[in-house]
Chain A
Amino acid sequence: MEKMHLIVDLKKCVGCYNCMIACKDEHVDNSWLPYTGAQQKHDQKWINPVKHERGAVPHTEINFVTKLCQHCRNAPCAHARPDAISRRKDGIVLIDTQKAAGDKSLVDVCPYGMISWNDEIEAAQKCTMCAHLLDIGWKEPRCVQACPLRALNVVFCDDDEFERLVREQKLKPLSDGSNAPRVMYRNLYKRDTCFVAGAFVYQDGEIKRAAENAVVQLKINGELMTTVKTDFFGEFKIDRIPKDSGTFELICDMSGYKTISVQVTIGEESPCLETMMFEKL
């Protein structure tokens, strides 16, 4: 049986929030019962890109991690209220807002924080994947249709096929994946890992110049992890270093100049090093 899945690609998200606006356009002032009642205009967000910054000036990176109901195969909400929350054959998890009316505890059940309380209809609500539209022939939910680069993408396939996709494309779940979510993320390393960036210069007569093509090696306990070259600005960036990795050694070489060796500690943040000067041998 084919199921609805969403793949969210951080590198294709431009942070336009069209997904959230489309969701509000579809659900605010429109009740789609029995799928769900109308969304509250301002006090609910069923889908929300969350800005995430990495690094510091001038190496700052801005990414958006779009959060929405993960339509888990093993959904804690469905376990909490099996009478009111159903998993459809196509994998979409729906809260029956009439049956679940008054049950505010559902808001806290979702480990992703994507169930929210609607004061007006007094019920917990969340993303329906626009099931009311899919059931009349629409190919995509509203958020996907409004996404300029399809940073949100629908994959309609069976569980085995999706697992293969996840494996092959190295897709990651928003958290530990224990709820078997049907929403998976590409390039989530931009949220979950650190980078180290820096720059080198050398003295050329009166002028300080960018050290292009210098070799930068990253070592841990003497073991070489990766090697990169500096660009024409004399800068380098080594990415996808797990958070809290501890202390690394950066060894930087340019022929004719003394090797520069620095210690870098990776914790929560991505370190951006001060510009370093190569000294002549």
Chain B
Amino acid sequence: MSEKIFEKTINLFDKTFLSISLFSLDKMLNILAKASPEFKKELEVHDVTVQLKIRDNTIGRKLFFRRGSVTGKNGVLGADVEMVFEDENTARKIMSGQMIGKTSDFVAAAKNGSMVLNGPDEKAMWFSSLLLKVFAFDVLYLGNFGMLMPNGETRYVSGTNGGPLFVYVKDGKIVRLTPIDLSEEDADPWTITARGKKFTPPKRATISPYALGWKSMIYSPDRLLYPMKRVDFDPDGERNPQNRGVSGYERISWDEAFDIVAKEIVRVRETHGPGTVFYSRGSHHTWGNCGYFISAANRFFNCIGATGLLNNPDSWEGYAWGAMHHYGGSARKGGCEAYSTVEDCMKNAEMIVFWSSDPESTSGVYGAHEGTIRREWVKQLGIPVVHIDPYLNSTAAFMGGRWIAPRPGTDTAMALAIAYVWLVNETYDKDYVQKRTTGLDKWREYILGETDDTPKTPEWQEEITGVDATIVRALAEQWGKKKTYLAAGGIHSFGSACRTAYGTEWARAMVCLAAMQGLGKEGVNFGGLQMGTPLDTNFWFPGYSEGGFSGDYIGSGSGIQLYNRMPQSPSVNSNYQRIPRLRLPEAILDGHAEAHDMDNYTVHGQFRKVRYPAPGHSEVKMYYKYGGSYFGTQPESNRYAKMYRSDKIEFVVNQSIWMEGEARYADIILPACTSFERWDIAEFANCGGYIEKSFIQNNHRVIHMQHKCIEPLGESKSDFEIFQGIAARLGLWQVFSEGNSEFDWVKRYFDATDLPKRMSWRQFLKKGYYVVPPLPEDRRTPLAMAWFANGTKRDTPELAPLPSEYYNRYNEGLQTPSGKFEFEAQTLKRFDPNDEERMPICTYIHSWEGVGSELYEKYKLQLITPHSKYSFHTMGDGKDSVINDIDQHRMLIDGFRYWIFRMNPNDAQERGLKHGEVVEVYNDRGSVLCGLEVTDRLPPGTVHSFESCADYKPAGEPGESVEINGCVNILTPSKFITKNAHGLAVNSCLVEVRKWEGAFGRWKKCI
């Protein structure tokens, strides 16, 4: 066929097809309305006239929507809404359903203007979504998804930050949630053969308690069901900011709420300029790659331009600001890669040291109880285990082995003593140190006391840590002769010790110890069986940090992972202002703040300073808060009450699922629905981003649909729809959503991944999940860091570091100037060789708040507040959830469930305190009521309470009175971890405790 004829044929085809589909559209809409009363209701929403046409007016059809029925007429005339196509070919592609098929065409058409939708936003948006609903009619209106059970229930699938769930629904109500037991047809798991035994994980996915308790949170009486306005807030008159946190709320309509928020956005931006809208959120809202914060929220706030939060690397602190300088890993915030370490550990390790590591409580992150199964295998294998933690944590309690309890914040001294023993006994890997590292001589001088006349002996550390020299020496000697896995933190980084004063030095000590013993050699690596299972790392399904539909190629992982897979229009935040998270209240109240940046691309990027306000930007006048966790999660959190009640912020809007925490300090509250009430898609424990391929915490790769299991409760809306509603009032709806619904985005996301190669969209919608088969044994991912130990090119599947971060040949060596492990860090030396708080070598520095510090005279107890076991930060706690009934989570005393505070029997006796009574924990920063648990899980002098209760309930004046709900972060310091790092040091905290003698107020009989 000649090219000309071909073109002609195609043209004719396009024209004919287009005419037919345009001609039949009105008829089809009427048929669908007959099939579904709900669809008919949608049709009834607007009485409008819609014009569909080619731009040159050669083809056109007009649709008249009148009281839910549609009539059509050929021709081109004026209309309310106009859908204009550049040419027949574009029009055919889009009208034939490829709007949600080949998305690159659609995005291209939208970007280059060959498809335009004109008309009032609300009507245009309605019509566009109506068309898209036609393509998913059987799913959206006939409920053609999920598995029908013999008893009439339908089984859907959803995801949480504690594992995926089956969701059984009947009559529009969730009956039950269960962990997912895999079926016969799902892929069989892997097997590890170690020491003559075979280990295969059971064919099921595990779940965390806070995930299993979700039903009680969905149907919680604390759900926000209607948009609300603070009673004494008048956007056109008195705003009464001083009453935030005190005044009540009244119900308003969505129209009213959207109008106020949109008007305020316009007002503050027009009046004050860029940066005046500030947006922040908690880190672990719900679950899902599209509707989650880094997707929907990023796109929305990029659309309006907003001051963002400069996040401190909270889970990583010491690694990011310290350890990274010795061995790189900026993309992982100083954490180490973890590939295949489970198998290596089980086969080759002769000892495992858990140091500030409690994966049984923290689940690594999002990993439910997957690692529990492997740690039980370690018990079967009889590998000796040691736990170093001021608190007898759940991992130590479960696994057994020696528990060593240093005073909080002194772990570095113990680590230095271990290095001392190795140096003196020459029980470190000399060959490795010589070939793969630099600078040990410098560190040796310090450790042996040649530079400061203080040899860092086990006896030296005894005074500091309170741990017998004998024990430390015995541990060092074993470690020196046994191949040892070091679980420093819960997941190849993390750990409470990295959030102490100078926690930088602890994380540095951890990587230096690992390097001395030959990190990457057989049986010598990081990990506590939490990460590094032999799963298929090639099958491509991204994590939530990869940005979903944000189009945020700069502010999310989208530019690295998604750009070539899911075409979408880009979105950029044009406001360059950021507020350092740990200085947020000061930034607002004092009008300025500064801190160092946290760069993911480079090691040296963290030496930059971020200053608020940024040049040419406005101070923040409007705060758009997504969720309400900061009272529970941020240090010295009474500061937030003072910030919210200041007139420096003219308008506060909070988008929240429950009435709790910061939601109580908003002027307008927008009720968001849970992830069980909207569409999404995600993978079990896959966050991506800073923990790339985090799914290797799991025993199975479970990629799942998040069905819209039930309709949103009350008038609550999905985050997507809330953002869309505001965007529509700013003329931004098409920019925000590309005209797609969240269901459409989920389909586009599915299409972008490797899933369609294995399973059809229809099958996926029905079954709800897919299990990626593990690769055969000889194709498993190479062992982490083995390439480095062997001196070969990197062979693990990592994109980072950037090519420019190699100073010698690309992909050879580490992300350090020498490419070697640097005991003396050149990056720190270059930044400031005399920074006595962060020397080029790792040193021990006494805490400003600990035993022997000035404050110790007044407050004799060292408080640690590690991540909670039964809740995930604020998720799971409060909200009238059943998690509150766990008597290790909260303690029921006289009708109120108090947050638990733990102390040793000796400390309790000294203070005349008894188990089960209400105590006041206090210091100069505030005071909190707790229920006292007297326990031998702590040595005398150290006290423990988990961080992050969900609500904030001051007994009197917010910010100034005793808090009754257990917001222990009121007590923690907001001082930076070290002067040149924007990191928190909440586990360096001194307190005292006394019996609560005050009145029991109105809270006495509530739950």
Chain A: residues with CB nearer than 8 A to chain B?
A: 12, 14-18, 20-22, 24-26, 28-30, 41-42, 45, 48, 51, 53, 55-58, 60-62, 136-137, 142, 145-146, 148-149, 199, 201, 207-210, 212, 231-235, 275
Contacts and interface: CB of A to CB of B under 8 A. Distances in A.
A28 B216 contact: yes
Interface stretch (B368-376, B653-661, B804-812, B947-955): B368-376
B381 interface: no
A210 B397 CA distance: 23
B1007 A15 contact: no
29 contacts: A16-B209, A16-B369, A17-B209, A18-B209, A20-B886, A25-B213, A25-B215, A26-B176, A29-B219, A30-B176, A41-B216, A41-B882, A42-B885, A57-B392, A57-B904, A60-B392, A60-B937, A62-B394, A136-B150, A136-B151, A142-B178, A145-B178, A146-B207, A148-B206, A207-B473, A210-B470, A210-B474, A233-B470, A275-B468
Nearest to B215: A25
A42 B212 contact: no
B404 interface: yes
A17 B403 contact: no
B181 A234 contact: no
Closest 5 CB pairs of A and B: A148-B369, A62-B397, A210-B474, A60-B936, A24-B882
A67 B887 CA distance: 14
A62 B937 contact: yes
A57 B178 CA distance: 38
B287 interface: no
A17 B886 contact: yes
Contact of A62 (B175, B369, B392): B392
Given A14-B398, A25-B212, A146 B179 contact: yes
Nearest to B889: A17
B935 interface: yes
A137 B153 CA distance: 14
Nearest to B150: A136
A233 B388 CA distance: 14
Interface in B458-475: 459, 468-471, 473-475
Interface in B603-634: none
Contacts of B478: 232
A26 B904 CA distance: 37
Contacts of A210: 470-471, 473-474
Most chain A CB within 10 A, of B176, B400, B888, B936, is at B936
A48 B889 CA distance: 13
A30 to B, nearest CB: 6
B936 A149 contact: no
A146 B1007 contact: no
A233 B885 contact: no
A234 B472 CA distance: 12
Nearest to B386: A233
Contacts of A201: 470
Contacts of A233: 402, 470-471, 474-475
Interface string B198-215: 000000001111001101
B883 interface: yes
A61 B399 CA distance: 10
Contacts of A53: 935-937
Given A17-B209, A17-B888, A41-B882, A30 B175 contact: yes
Contacts of B405: 57-58
Contacts of A58: 402-405, 939
Nearest to A140: B181
A209 B888 contact: no
Contact of A24 (B216, B372, B468, B888): B216
B110 interface: no
Given A29-B219, A233-B402, A275-B468, 14 more contacts: A14-B398, A16-B209, A17-B209, A22-B212, A25-B882, A28-B216, A57-B392, A60-B392, A137-B150, A145-B181, A210-B470, A210-B471, A210-B473, A234-B470
Nearest to B475: A233
Interface in B208-262: 208-209, 212-213, 215-216, 219
Interface in B877-891: 880, 882-889
B870 interface: yes
A14 B369 contact: yes
A243 B206 CA distance: 37
B67 to A, nearest CB: 40
Nearest to A212: B474
Contact of B397 (A15, A145, A207, A208): A15
B45 to A, nearest CB: 33
Nearest to A233: B474
A199 B869 CA distance: 32
Contacts of B177: 25
Contacts of A60: 392, 403, 936-937
Contacts of A61: 397, 400
A28 B935 contact: no
A21 B215 CA distance: 10
Contacts of B373: 148-149
A12 B202 CA distance: 15
Contacts of B349: none
A142 B216 CA distance: 16
B996 to A, nearest CB: 23
Contacts of B179: 145-146
Nearest to B212: A21
Given A55-B936, A146-B207, A20 B885 contact: yes
B354 to A, nearest CB: 14
B178 A146 contact: yes
B938 A16 contact: no
Most chain A CB within 10 A, of B177, B373, B459, is at B177
Contacts of A24: 213, 216, 882, 885
A21 B209 contact: yes
Contact of B1007 (A28, A42, A148): A42
Interface string B353-385: 000000010000000110011001000000000
B477 interface: yes
B568 to A, nearest CB: 37
A206 to B, nearest CB: 9
A187 B956 CA distance: 49
A61 B448 CA distance: 37
B877 to A, nearest CB: 13
A199 B469 CA distance: 13
B151 A14 contact: no
B938 A57 contact: yes
A15 B870 CA distance: 10
Contacts of B404: 58
A208 B468 CA distance: 10
Contact of A21 (B181, B882, B887, B936): B882
Contacts of B369: 14, 16, 18, 148-149
A29 B478 CA distance: 55
Contacts of B869: 16
Interface in B882-903: 882-889
A58 B406 CA distance: 11
A53 B394 CA distance: 13
A103 B927 CA distance: 45
A208 B394 contact: no
B218 to A, nearest CB: 11
Nearest to B884: A42
